[in-house]
Structure 1
């Protein structure tokens, strides 16, 4: 990429109007550029970006990594430099070249780089799910084309071009004495979005399920989940929305919230908008949440606390987002998203990870980012299954 092309890309970068081909060319140039060339690019960026001071800064892990690499600690105007170099790092990380930035190219010997032994590689997860109709028929949603899938009790079930599942009530919708239920479940490495008969939206994360009536006809709209789901509920004061998860119920009128029940014996409910009542169905303990609060049901007791909304909802925005997360927390996400068994050789390395990782990265690219920490990985196929071995270094 010559100087003229770089200048053109930087102008487009500021307005987010660059193409994927231009990004790839810029990434290749950044990988081999000298400090002097990067400084010149930064100078041009700051001049062009002078009227755009409100850009959001990328994750701190990238800024810290670039600070080490470029030795900027004693230079003036560090904040602007961080924005430019960190933005470049995010581009490179997305392209799977994050390791280049997560070590000091001139000062760190190659043998000290954290190894990622990848005898195989794994693609990221995607829109994968199975729909089970009331009669027991199963439909693999990732294999079937868009269009009408079925009709249950006068309710049309369709898959749109974006891969979302829609339930629409027709004028012929029946009012049977007993609700007719459907279940949608995602495997490891899967996610899916569902529009319920009342227009409420549900996002299912990997290794999760949602059971619901094809038509809400009773006094309440009740569904049940396992795993993790994000809800955007249509308001209906006459018919409250209820989510059952293990021994917890969440009563809603209209709101946005996330429920995570991955950990055995623990369920967290995080409220972004509106108001919900969280109920322990065993002890009948109840708490009413306000926006920005999280209820955690653990050991038969509900406790409340604040939460980081960006971290909790990052998965529906295509990110893994962490703030002081343990390696075990990060690897649990990796295991579900890439459908791989994670095992530890020796004790689990202890450190806190803060940063964002795009969910669209391949497994090896995810591990390259994590390998800037005192940990090493070996990804291989054993007996027809994928296994990741994690150990300290």
Structure 2
């Protein structure tokens, strides 16, 4: 397709990967957890000999135990247990370019990470030191269900298998649990601990590395993946169709007025890029039809690195704004509010005005007084109801 034809093409959604393939559910954030519930835990909770953690409202200990067992079974279906260094290497090789999530665990240790939540600390002192690891299990079960194209491995250390202790040392793991993400056999992210921050890291990592957003949607439905100069040229020639935003407003901006925003990031060892990506997706959704969004990860290939150098980006994350194929602004940093304000400022400077949310229809004064009076009377009567 020539560029002139691309210019006339209307995108049904803001974007798909220019290269045509959607990123795999690769390296989710360094968080995921997989804690293997032992028979001893099950018996203890069922018989009432100890506290039963994670009870939901109106849930009995027996129902809680059955639920956790069901979650465990779902994870078991998606998880391979590693018993030797050779098996670990074999699983990594067999995975190819899929994401490999590795949970390195200990039966005796449940580290909360470097900045633990006080409630977690208190719980491990007064309740059960392994409780935080079990709490992560439901998150892991959801991840395992939603990300079928990833490989989940568990390395569970025990005195019976010294080979796994050596493997943990080779992987640089000294605290448990540690969660590692591998892509193409290379470690791209790591998270240590099972504290409160772990759940957030799971979501951020799923999104950044695996394209997996909430509700089974994918970030690539809104953010185009750029891997070369040709991809960028095609992206800049595109035109987004009118879109209904999550706040109920239709964005309809002429092609020549639409902003194109390029997020320049790095996949490896770049926490700032990872942490701001949820805000990028939110902005892409809310400005759909007025802005087109794309992401260039400068360390995924030589072509990507070359394009990053040509764009003169030496710090990430960097956001480059284009209008009519010309750069009209930049923001370098990971402040979510500042990124949003930069988008708004550049839209105003380029003469782009988005529609406001439709105001709600208000009651007349007399009608409002009548309804409010009836509500007060009802609430007063309810106070005396036994």
Structure 1 or 2, whichever has the larger Rg, is: 2
Bigger relative contact order, structure 1 or 2, given CA contacts below 8 A and separation 6+?
2
Is the TM-score greater than 0.5? no
Give TM-score, length-normalised by structure 1: 0.25
Greater strand share, structure number: 1
Greater helix share, structure number: 2
Give TM-score, length-normalised by structure 2: 0.25
